[in-house]
Amino acid sequence: LAASINLGEQCYAISFSYGSKHNKFENEAARIIAEYYKVPFQLIDISSVMIDFKSDLLLTGADIPEGHYNDSSMKRTVVPCRNLIFGSILAGYAQSNKIDQIKLGIHSGDHFIYPDCRPEFFYSFAYTVNKATEGTVRVEAPFLDLDKADIVKIGLELNVPYQLTRTCYKYQQIACGVCGSCNERKEAFALNNAVDPLTYKE
């Protein structure tokens, strides 16, 4: 999950430690990228809250499925209500600090697998946050109708340092190259006729 909070022209990057297999590596990547863009970064630990959640994405779950991102097996990586929890914390953080909007990185490639990445969830959540904060916090999802290839294209145009990013779902330093998330990333670069600068184990 990517999340940010805007205060005027200032952007704050916030990530969560929640016990997923790739959490350690994605949070380090998030910190490095925030540092690259000179954006304040904060890591919020909620691992104790989600310790009894059931998902193969978590350290307590089974192996991460391999194959295509849209394979039904990838539904095993759903973490119940993850974005609802993340978003609610961000909304409370924003309201407490007089920040007017939060942004979620959910995109259309997630719609098939993850219920809390679908438009129905987003619009419902945005409405709820608006009411809960008396209109002081707005929720946005700029990639909601874009797929990973669209996002990679935008990133290439903006010279995003993709070599610093993390996509793999597995508990390993070097991206596996065979899980659904890695395959979706590689496909996105291929559709843009671009070279993925990341090194893969396979």
- 68 vs 129: which has the higher pLDDT: 129
Query: 89: closest CA among 41, 137, 134?
Result: 137
Are 94 and 137 a contacting pair, CB within 8 Å?
Answer: yes
HEC string of 76-137 equals HHCCCCHHHHHHHHHHHHHHHCCCCEEEECCCHHHCCCCHHHCHHHHHHHHHHHHHHCCCCC
Tokens of 49: 């809250």
Report the sign of the C-alpha dihedral through residues 93, 95, 98, 101, in that order.
Answer: positive
Report residue 107 as tokens.
């995109």
Give the pLDDT confidence of 68-119 residue by residue, as tens digits: 877 788 899 999 999 999 999 999 999 999 999 999 999 998 888 899 999 9
Model confidence band, residue 9 (pLDDT cutoffs 50, 70, 90): low
> What does the pLDDT read at residue 170?
97
Cα–Cα nearest to 139, from 27, 6, 1: 6
This prediction's pTM: 0.90
Cβ(115)–Cβ(150) below 8 Å: no
Contact between 6 and 100 (Cβ < 8 Å) = yes
